[in-house]
Structure 1
Amino acid sequence: MSMDTLVINLSQHILSADEMSVLARGPSYVPTLNFDDFGLEVDLFKFERLLNLKSFFSHRTTETMPPTEPPGTDNLALPIEPSGTVNSADQKGTKLTNVWSSKQLSFLDVLISQENGEFHTDLYRKDTDRNALLRADSHHPPSLINALPFSQKVRVSRITSRQDKLAPAMDDLRERFTKRGYTPAVLDAALNREVIPNRATKDEKRIVFSTTYNRASNLVRFTIRKHWHLLQNDEVLAASCQTPPLIAYRRGRNLSDNLIHADNKDHYHTPHFLEGGKQGNFRCMNCSVCNSLTTGDVFCHPHSGKKITIHNRITCRSTFVVYIIRCPCGLVYVGKTTRMLKHG
């Protein structure tokens, strides 16, 4: 494989106004996703399997580890060194800056300072940091968009120890959210909400239904809750399905996932001897399913006798397969699996 097929030179490409508008939204921006019926089918299959496992193991109890105490802070001390700044540049012109002080220490987003024998904490942001907050028009669940300003308020309130610096930090937080498209109503509801310290969490073990958020997610959530009473009245699943499931959404593909590919695995992937080649059904020659597998590129319908062509290469190692099990009595069972066919 030549380097021309691996590397695409985009240095001469001129971005259009629409492309510039999309890229300006940031790499974390998620475009609106269409309904993925196959992905939802896979998520529902995994959820069904989780329900069966929960019902089977519901009689077992899990042991919990005792909570561990945080390490003591009696001997906490900051290194005292002279203040200063060091600037250096490499041959490519990259500038590196190292700043230290005997009165303050920065760690991640926290600035620890010492004044009059007391320690204080404030928010710390580098001069080169940009506004990386999630945009309000990104295709995320509305509950996440509405809860993000309040979660950032809690973060600012916990880090900022001095009340005289809390109000300017909140004003700066409001300005940053406004630039990302959040409405004043959402910001007022979040920033005026009272922060409850050490809030107690509910200790309930709810089953989780995980799926990718898309246009049909609200309809899926409504349908599950509408018909959940059928599982609550089921003889087998009633004990483990009394509480409706907790619906958790996975993030869709953002601009970074679609545009940035740091590692091209195709150029060093070692193909299996069963990959590629002629289409049809073949044995892998290394499992127990091979003995009962019917090979060929065509199979007949069990009742009508119509010939059906296989348009892919399927082996015992293939995943996401619809299969047929033929009974000696003449009946057939049609099933599906997301795992390898030899493990399904």
Structure 2
Amino acid sequence: MGTCMAPTYANIFMGAIEAGSLCAFPDKPLIWLRYIDDIFLIWTHGRAKLESFIAHANTFHPTIKFTSSISDTQIPFLDVMVSLKNNTLHTDLYSKPTDTFNYLHWSSCHPFHTKSSIPYSLAFRLIRICSCEETLTRRLTELTEHLKRRGFSLKHIQKAILKAKETPRSTAIQRRRLPETQKNRIPFVITYNPALPNISSILKKYFPILHTSPRCRRAIPHLPMAAFRRPKNLRDSLVHANIQKTHICGSRPCNIRRCLTCKLITTTSQFTSTVTGKTYNILHNL
């Protein structure tokens, strides 16, 4: 979404539109859930009034227009497919048709804990999303195949799935709140390299030395968190997105040893037309 502040601005802006459109329309949705600019709602006043409500929302701001998908049976919202069966809402994983499931490959140059946590995180996500046990089993089987294709061992995948299943869904869907000590940890940022020692262990070992100083204890009250930045890869070395710009205008030799044109180039910032006799400035670097 562009800059890091874009979601915050979008939330504030959409919150104003949300409040205005809901308050000004006489009929209200039964459920209204919004994530930035994606909205899920349940409407119980008939399709005609729903279309009137959408048209009303589209008049609230000249540049904001809502697109809608309406269904009586099922509809996707973010990565969740919500379906209505026997007057009960059921949820399942929703993936776009273009999704290739190219998760991080096991052989990728990333910290071990980053790669090893992927199967558990994805399995835990499915436990939170899938409301039916049969659907969950099918999605976990699909996940296993996707991860095997990305180089993960079957043993590691199965171990992660069993660990994720230890948490009941009723607990998994609850919002987790980090302790204050976790929120206020200062990141210790270092460029990742596979040859690095265990940075977290080193921080834990020598952190008490910092606390021998009252000044350091006030500045760094909690154990710093090891954070890795991505090292330069082959693409960074071969591809340059920024074109080097020069502010020197005129014509001059490039001085490349094999260049056969340099001896014919005149160093100058102007040229005179042989037809009109007028002198022109060279506005670019030639």
TM-score bin, normalised by smaller chain: 0.5 to 0.7
Deviation string 1:202-234 (CA, Å, 9 cap, x unpaired) is 220222211221134325544444333321112
Instruction: Find the counterpart in structure 1 of residue 179 from structure 2.
Output: 202
Q: Which runs of 5+ in 2 are unaligned?
A: 1-18, 20-27, 32-40, 49-68, 249-286
Instruction: Describe the shift of the 1:219–1:169 C-alpha distance in structure 2 as closer, same or farther (beyond 3 A).
Output: closer
Query: Which position in structure 2 is the counterpart of 1:105?
Result: 75
- Structure 1 contact 80–102 (Cα < 8 Å) conserved: no
Aligned to 2:208: 229
Which SS does the other structure have where 1:265 is aligned? coil
Give, in whole Å, the separation in 2 of the partners of 1:115 and 1:214: 51
Give the whole-Å Cα distance in 2 for the aligned partners of 1:219 and 1:158.
Answer: 32
- 1:245 equivalent in structure 2: 224
> Secondary structure of the residue that 1:147 maps to in structure 2?
helix
Say yes or no: does 1:74 pair with 2:44: no
* 5+ residue gaps, structure 1: 1-70, 82-98, 273-344
Q: CA deviation at 1:169?
A: 0.6
Q: Which amino acid aligns with 2:106?
A: A
Change (3 A) 1:80 1:189: farther
Deviations 1:47-93 (A, max 9, x none): xxxxxxxxxxxxxxxxxxxxxxxx99734325969xxxxxxxxxxxx
- Residues 220/116 of structure 1: CA separation in 2 closer, same or farther (3 Å cut): closer
Q: Is contact 1:210-1:250 (8 Å) kept?
A: yes
User: Which SS does the other structure have where 2:222 is aligned?
Assistant: coil
Q: What do residues 105-152 of structure 1 show as CA deviations (whole Å, max 9, x unaligned)?
A: 223422222223222221122344212111111111111111111111
| Alpha-carbon separation, structure 2, partners of 1:107 and 1:241 | 42
| TM superposition shift of 1:201 | 2.7
Task: Provide the secondary structure at the position in 2 that maps to 1:217.
Answer: coil
Q: Please tell me whether residue 158 in structure 1 is matched to residue 128 in structure 2.
A: yes
- Report the secondary structure of 1:139's partner residue: coil
Corresponding position of 2:101 = 131
**Residue 265 of structure 1 pairs with residue 248 of structure 2:** no
Kindly indicate which of the two structures has a greater share of residues assigned to helix. 2
Shift of the alpha carbon at 1:183? 1.5
Give distance in 2, aligned partners of 1:260 and 1:160. 42
State the partner residue of 1:172: 142
Task: Using the aligned pairs only, state the percent identity.
Answer: 30
Bigger RCO (CA 8 Å, 6+ sep) = 1
Q: Shift of the alpha carbon at 1:178?
A: 1.1
Superposed CA offset, 1:138-168 (max 9, x none): 1111111111111111111111122221111
The whole-number CA distance in structure 2 between the counterparts of 1:163 and 1:122 is 10
Query: How far apart in 2 are the matches of 1:206 and 1:155?
Result: 26
Q: In the aligned structure 2, how far is the partner of 1:120 from the partner of 1:256?
A: 44
Distance 2:114 2:78 in 1: 24
For residue 192 of structure 1, give the secondary structure of its aligned residue in structure 2: helix
The alignment's C-alpha RMSD in Å is 3.5
Alignment of 1:310-325 (within 5 A): none
Instruction: Tell me which residue corresponds to 1:211.
Output: 190
SS state at 1:164 partner: helix
Q: Which amino acid aligns with 1:114?
A: L
How far the C-alpha of 1:241 sits from its partner, in A, is: 3.7
Judged with a 3 Å threshold, the aligned counterparts in structure 2 of structure 1 residues 152 and 257 are, in CA distance, closer, same or farther, namely farther
CA–CA distance in 2 between the matches of 1:114 and 1:170?
22
